[in-house]
Amino acid sequence: MTDEGYYWETGDEKILREEFEKYSAVMDTFCEALKDLPPNPGETAESLGDRLERLLIEKFGGKKK
């Protein structure tokens, strides 16, 4: 099991809350990205996935692997 909030290791609630805030910010950005993704009638699941990937890369400033 992995403790991504580091609470098990540290017992520090402040660190745990900070980690939760990071995840909340990522989820908020993801939800906003979905709002910016208009539907394309007749689109395949694959092309929708590709569009979503491009949008998220743009929103998060990453690069496609």
Question: What mean pLDDT is reported for the chain?
Answer: 87
Mean pLDDT of 6-26: 93
Backbone angles phi, psi at 6, to 5 degrees: 60, 15
Q: How far is CA 59 from CA 22, 33, 51, 53, in A?
A: 15, 7, 12, 10
pLDDT tens-digit series, residues 18-46 = 999 999 998 998 888 888 788 899 999 99
Does 5 or 65 have the greater pLDDT score?
A: 5
